[in-house]
Structure 1
Amino acid sequence: MSTVLAGHGLVKKYGSTTALAGVDVEVGERDSLAIMGPSGSGKSTLLHTLAGIVRPDGGQVLLRGERVDDLGEDRLSALRRTRFGFVFQSGQLLPELPVEENVALPLMLEGMPRTQAVERARRWFAPLGLDGLERRRPGQLSGGQAQRVAIARALVGEPEVVFADEPTGALDQRTSTEVVQLLTFATRDTGAALVMVTHDPDIAAHCDRVLQVRDGLISGHNQYTAV
């Protein structure tokens, strides 16, 4: 399995606090990696550093062997839009747009005409159980439906890596299981790698591998057969 994303010797400090203390991590094609750890362990900082949201103070982030952490802000922003996808705990859908345009938004931001972008976005509705919701507004969706829309938006641009930060944190257990199954299956199906932060071991068990982070260091690494 070829490596898609790697972090080597990642260091990140916030004042006198060391969030990452020299972390090494690699993620391959169709690989799904859960990052776990107690509050303040550095797990979210690790995800944000790999995703180009936070710049490391030391070390490197490589996407298919090319360094990306030292890119200028414009190029880094373009990379996040085109080669990465994101699913956050709150979904972060735009309330004024119908669901189909929320999903199509990354394509439209890259200049694709609305009609074409919406047509491509609609291809995700059946696989993710969203048929019939195309014209609804986010405020008319349940929490589980909103996260399915967020997954569709993350995948519509055919990213190489999808980052998910506590994507089931606001959902009940049954809905959480449904959402993480859709997320892991959909990323594998498209060939994207998945990097997910979660506090829930049952959710983490749906990933191929689990990294335990403590005090800014990898404290454990487990490999599972995906559920």
Structure 2
Amino acid sequence: MNTVLAGLGLTKKYGSTLALDGVDIRVGEGDSLAIMGPSGSGKSTLLHVLAGIIRPDGGSVLLRGQHIDSLGENKLSALRRRHFGFVFQSGQLLPELPAEENAALPLMLEGVARRQAVERARRWFAPLGLEGLELRRPGQLSGGQAQRVAIARALAVEPDVVFADEPTGALDQRTSTEVIQLLTFACRETGAALVMVTHDADMAAHCDHVLHVRDGRISHHSQYTVT
């Protein structure tokens, strides 16, 4: 496996609570990994540490072999913008912007001209079933359509890793299945690694690997053959 993202011996403590207790994790190009566990198990902390949102107390996070946990805040923020895509439970789209500009926003924040950024983002609208919705604002989209725009936003930067935090948590079962199939397919096609936190075993089963986290440790690792 050509490892894109690795966490080695990760520890994180909040007061007297050990949220991560020596976690090792590796994700390869085009691989999808679901992280599951009960509330307070450490799964969200693990995703945030891997994404460089919070720093581990011990251990290392490496992106293509580069230690990112030791970077300064400015360099780490720039790395997240350029190499990571994010899909959240609620989509977190800006209500005043049309879909195409919401999808292009990370590129524009990096200084890409609006026209070029929108062109790059719109490449994902047809594959994600969003054709004809480019100028609609979030309030004019269904929940599933809004999440597809969020996926387009994550993919527009051509990321090394897509982080998804309960991306289907606010959707019905049918829409959830459609969204997760599109997300995993898009990551495989582009070679981006996918790291997803979910409470839904049906959604997790669409990923190549599932890690079960309990008390800050990996308690079980399942591997699927995805067709």
Answer yes or no: same fold by TM over 0.5.
yes
| Structure 1 segments (4+ residues) deviating >3 Å | none
Is 1:6 equivalent to 2:2 in the alignment? no
Q: Find the counterpart in structure 2 of residue 197 from structure 1.
A: 197
- Whichever residue aligns with residue 28 of structure 2, its letter is G
Q: Find the counterpart in structure 1 of residue 72 from structure 2.
A: 72
Is 1:153 equivalent to 2:157 in the alignment? no
Q: Find the counterpart in structure 1 of residue 58 from structure 2.
A: 58
Q: Equivalences for 1:208-223 in 2 at 5 Å?
A: 208-223=208-223
Q: Find the counterpart in structure 2 of residue 184 from structure 1.
A: 184
Secondary structure of 1:145's counterpart equals helix
| Deviations, residues 183-210 of structure 1 (Å, cap 9, x unaligned) | 0000110110000000011000000000
- Whichever residue aligns with residue 80 of structure 1, its letter is R
TM-score, length basis structure 1: 0.99
Secondary structure of 1:81's counterpart equals helix
Q: Equivalences for 1:105-184 in 2 at 5 Å?
A: 105-184=105-184
- Whichever residue aligns with residue 163 of structure 1, its letter is F
- Tell me how far 1:66 sits from its aligned partner: 1.0
State the aligned residue count. 227
- Tell me how far 1:2 sits from its aligned partner: 0.7
Q: Distance in 1 between matches of 2:54 and 2:159?
A: 19
TM-score, length basis structure 2: 0.99
Q: Distance in 2 between matches of 1:191 and 1:169?
A: 25
Q: Distance in 2 between matches of 1:140 and 1:17?
A: 43
Q: Distance in 1 between matches of 2:86 and 2:226?
A: 21
- Tell me how far 1:226 sits from its aligned partner: 1.5
Q: Distance in 2 between matches of 1:173 and 1:47?
A: 24
| Deviations, residues 163-182 of structure 1 (Å, cap 9, x unaligned) | 00000000000000000000
| Deviations, residues 113-145 of structure 1 (Å, cap 9, x unaligned) | 101111111111100000111111111111100
Secondary structure of 2:164's counterpart equals strand
Q: Find the counterpart in structure 2 of residue 87 from structure 1.
A: 87
Secondary structure of 1:131's counterpart equals coil
Q: Distance in 2 between matches of 1:191 and 1:18?
A: 33
Secondary structure of 2:196's counterpart equals strand
- In structure 1, runs of 5+ residues without a counterpart are none
- Tell me how far 1:37 sits from its aligned partner: 0.4
Q: Distance in 2 between matches of 1:226 and 1:50?
A: 24
- Tell me how far 1:63 sits from its aligned partner: 0.6
Identical-residue share of aligned pairs (%): 82
Q: Distance in 1 between matches of 2:97 and 2:14?
A: 37
